[in-house]
Structure 1
Amino acid sequence: MKDVAEFFGWLTVAFYTLALFNFLMKAVNKKYPLKIKENKKFEEIYKTVMKYIIRYHKLIGIIAAIGLTVHSSIMYFNVGLRITGLIAASLMVLDALIGIYGYLSKKKRTDPLFDVHRVIAFVLPLAIAVHLLFK
């Protein structure tokens, strides 16, 4: 059962990383548009990947949340509560809730919660790394 939990933990990390690419790809596209356009083949691939990452950001986040729920449930009932896991999971849930709120309320990207959503997204890898190191 622990192997299943570990699989869902890594699935969560993989889909969370894909969700994070939403910001990273947009930032690179905004900061280096001329560099991207220098190589037409690269530009074509980059734009295609970016289109799918942006389009499916919410779905990717939902899959990460499902993976987190399964991973957390299995680990809690088989191993018990790990404070590092609780912190990482809480950050991910908070980030998801802020994202859902922003989407449903149609808030503008100038809303301070949008910045909080991004900050949590970049703090979360540290929390996950601590969880993996000190589980």
Structure 2
Amino acid sequence: MESKFGGLFGALVILLYILTILNYMVKAANRYFGAWMKTYPKAYRIFITCMRFIVKYHRIFGAGSLLFLIIHVFVQYNFYGYINKTGAAAAGVLLMQVLLGIYGSKLKKRPKSWLYIHRAVAVLLPLAIALHVLG
């Protein structure tokens, strides 16, 4: 039974991570297709509402993914008695991503390299998660 809880919390980590990376995707969609989307006012209004929600809660989604990761590790460790190596690697990448997010949110003047690193780690994380889930 505990293993199913571990799987549930792992799935919640992934769900919140997806909501977190949607921040970049909706901003890019608005930047590149916003003018075209405005030709459909009702759909654009819905899109903007969704975009505002995603952007507003980006930090909450990131923090939530870390919280559920901690719960996931706790449940899985108590059920299996050891830490999976690929899981530890994926957890490390997620922790690095959250720490980069906190670091960037605290800086008034962020170096441009910070954003590139934050985005690069966001690309590495699904690969690490896939290795963990499929491995």
What range describes the TM-score normalised by the shorter chain of this pair? over 0.9
Q: Distance in 2 between matches of 1:78 and 1:62?
A: 24
Q: Which residue of 1 aligns with 2:98?
A: 96
State the Cα RMSD in Å.
1.1
Residue 23, structure 1, aligned to residue 24, structure 2 = yes
Superposed displacement of residue 106, structure 1: 2.4
Q: CA, structure 1 residues 5+36, in 2 after alignment: closer, same or farther (shift >3 Å)?
A: same
TM-score, L = length of structure 1: 0.93
Query: How far 1:76 sits from its partner (Å)?
Result: 2.1
Q: Read off the aligned partner of 1:4 and give its amino acid letter.
A: F
TM-score w.r.t. the length of structure 2 is: 0.93
What CA distance in whole angstroms lies between the structure 2 residues aligned with 1:100 and 1:78? 31
Q: Which segments of structure 1 move beyond 4 Å, counting only runs of 4 or more?
A: none
Displacement of 1:124 in angstroms is 0.8
Give the partner amino acid of 2:87. Answer: G
Instruction: Give the secondary structure class of the aligned counterpart of 1:38.
Output: coil
Rounded to whole Å, the distance in 1 between the matches of 2:33 and 2:63 is 30
Give 1:70 deviation, angstroms: 0.3
What residue is the counterpart of 1:117 in the other structure? 118
User: Among the aligned pairs, what percent are the same residue?
Assistant: 32
**Is it true that 1:42 corresponds to 2:38 in the alignment?**
no
Q: Which residue of 2 aligns with 1:76?
A: 77
Aligned residues: 133
Aligned CA distance change for structure 1 residues 122 and 59 (closer, same or farther; 3 Å): same
**Which blocks of at least 5 consecutive residues in structure 1 are unaligned?**
none
Structure 2: tracts of 5 or more residues without a match: none
Amino acid at match of 1:91: V
